[in-house]
Amino acid sequence: MFENHLPTAELQALDAAHHMHPFTDGDGLAKKGARIITKAKGVWVTDSEGAEILDGMAGLWCVNVGYGREELVEAAARQMRQLPFYNTFFQTSHIPAIQLAKRLAELAPGDLNHVFFNGSGSDSNDTNIRMVRRYWQALEKPEKNVIISRWNGYHGSTMGAASLGGMKGMHAQGGLPIPGVVHIDQPDWWSEGGDLTPEAFGLARARQLEEKILEIGAENVAAFIGEPVQGAGGVIVPPATYWPEIQRICRQYDILLIADEVITGFGRTGNWFGCQTFGITPDIMTVAKGLTSGYIPMGASIVSDRVAAVINGSDEFAHGYTYSGHPVAAAVALENLRLLDEDGIVARVAAETAPYLKAKWEGLAAHPLVGEAKIVGMMGSIALTPNKETRAKFASKSGTVGYICRERCFANNLVMRHVGDRMIISPPLVITPAEIDILIARALKSLDETLVRIN
Ligand code: PLP
């Protein structure tokens, strides 16, 4: 459709002049110009110069079924013809929202049987803040309203979600966090584990939750929120001891557990949801991204019987978005879930693709620049280091080497992101073994070139 587009330089100039980008250094954009993506198929994206790039990040961790699935296009078109919009406020509903809520209740573990639809991951987490506070208020415990989360967690970019997140740079720019959100440390053994074994460190970091609850008073704490695997924080895979201890603490002190599955949902960790991979049972699960494979925006809070009974059984919950349960998004999500299931995409990840990727990814640890190589399902990270034994950091400012490596990946037509000096991947779940081989070969080449550049 865009084959006869303007020359790349002209598009870049227009982009820099008029388009304000999320999480982008505006000055860099003006000097270097954006890479302009024009089309995509499977795991491959094409830029305005015709380069074919292997998308190791599934867009922004979201294109789980891969690009170019006509079934999703057809689902959207059919629904647009039938009913392009109707709201779900004021006792109205429509068939796509009803069907999708039912399907999500079937897929979600435990008694997560109730769905509040949102437009994105960020506003799903804002819904969660409002819902857990409303829950305790309805139970006549309005003072039970503090939410505990983790430093270096990411829960989105709205005022509420960015407050839940523990990104200090975001807090510094927006007068955040909002009142009633406090943070504990993350379970990042590589960077912060010191002399502890990963298992002992995992327990120690989980017990910070208990310490924080005791400090604030359990009667004042509404909920704990965490990503089963921190994504934007650098694909931090917690030690195996971490999540069971968090679950124990939440149960003991009657604190609601919110699993933010915006990245880890819909097959990413090798199960339908990350909480299944880590053996936890949340009270609320946040989903977005892979819910529609990113073809159209949608998020949801999937809620337990216990929480839903209180919210539905009290005065009206004064909350909602125009696009809550948008029929076109719901129709696309339903078709996307059908593909993940009936096309065997999630099953294939567990049986074949994730084990293959794991073996190759962990092999990167033999490279002189790579310390730990961690992977769960289809999300992985490598820590770059000048000394594997001491887990040392580079003398340069954090992120300098990671940035160089990311630029080498780009030059080698591989999208791999950096978070500080960690390199991360989260490819479409449909990536084939042959494509994984290409991903690994390009990653190794980029690591070699990075090593040359920093020495
Ligand atoms: N939660 C997690 C774990 C995320 O990774 C993200 C986005 O990356 C969000 C929430 C926010 O989602 P959105 O960008 O759709 O608002």
Contacts of 348 (CB under 8 A, 6+ apart): 429
The dihedral formed by the CA atoms of 273, 277, 279 and 284, expressed in degrees to the nearest 10: -20
pLDDT confidence of residue 3? 57
- Is 231 close to ligand 1, i.e. is its CB under 6 Å away? yes
Which of 262, 284, 424 has the most ligand 1 atoms within 8 A of CB, as the residue to mutate?
262
pLDDT confidence of residue 1? 54
- Is 232 close to ligand 1, i.e. is its CB under 6 Å away? yes
54 contacts 43 by C-beta, under 8 angstroms: yes
266 C-alpha vs ligand 1 centroid, how far in Å? Answer: 14
Model ipTM value: 0.99
Atom of ligand 1 nearest to the CA of 60: 8
Query: Averaged in consecutive runs of 10 residues, what is the pLDDT profile of the chain (455 residues)?
Result: 80 95 87 94 97 98 98 98 97 98 98 98 98 98 98 98 97 94 98 98 98 98 98 98 98 98 98 98 98 98 98 96 98 98 98 98 98 98 97 96 97 97 98 98 98 94
Which two three-digit tokens encode residue 197?
A: 């074994």
367 contacts 388 by C-beta, under 8 angstroms: no
How far lies 419's CA from each of 40, 135, 170, in Å? 25, 36, 15
Global confidence as pTM: 0.98
Tell me the DSSP string of 97-130: HHHHHHHHHHHSSTTEEEEEEESSHHHHHHHHHH
Helix (H) or strand (E) holding 427: none
- Annotate 13-26 with three-state secondary structure: HHHHHHCCCCCCCH
33 C-alpha vs ligand 1 centroid, how far in Å? Answer: 25
- From atom 12 of ligand 1, which residue's Cα is the shortest distance away? 121
- Annotate 322-346 with three-state secondary structure: CCCCCHHHHHHHHHHHHHHHHCCHH
84 C-alpha vs ligand 1 centroid, how far in Å? Answer: 26
- Is 239 close to ligand 1, i.e. is its CB under 6 Å away? no
- From atom 1 of ligand 1, which residue's Cα is the shortest distance away? 155
- Is 261 close to ligand 1, i.e. is its CB under 6 Å away? no
| Beta pairing partners, 257 | 224
Helix (H) or strand (E) holding 226: strand 221-226
- Is 294 close to ligand 1, i.e. is its CB under 6 Å away? no
d(CA 364, CA 447): 9
pLDDT confidence of residue 407? 96
Contacts of 356 (CB under 8 A, 6+ apart): 433, 436
pLDDT confidence of residue 347? 98
- Is 156 close to ligand 1, i.e. is its CB under 6 Å away? yes
388 C-alpha vs ligand 1 centroid, how far in Å? Answer: 31
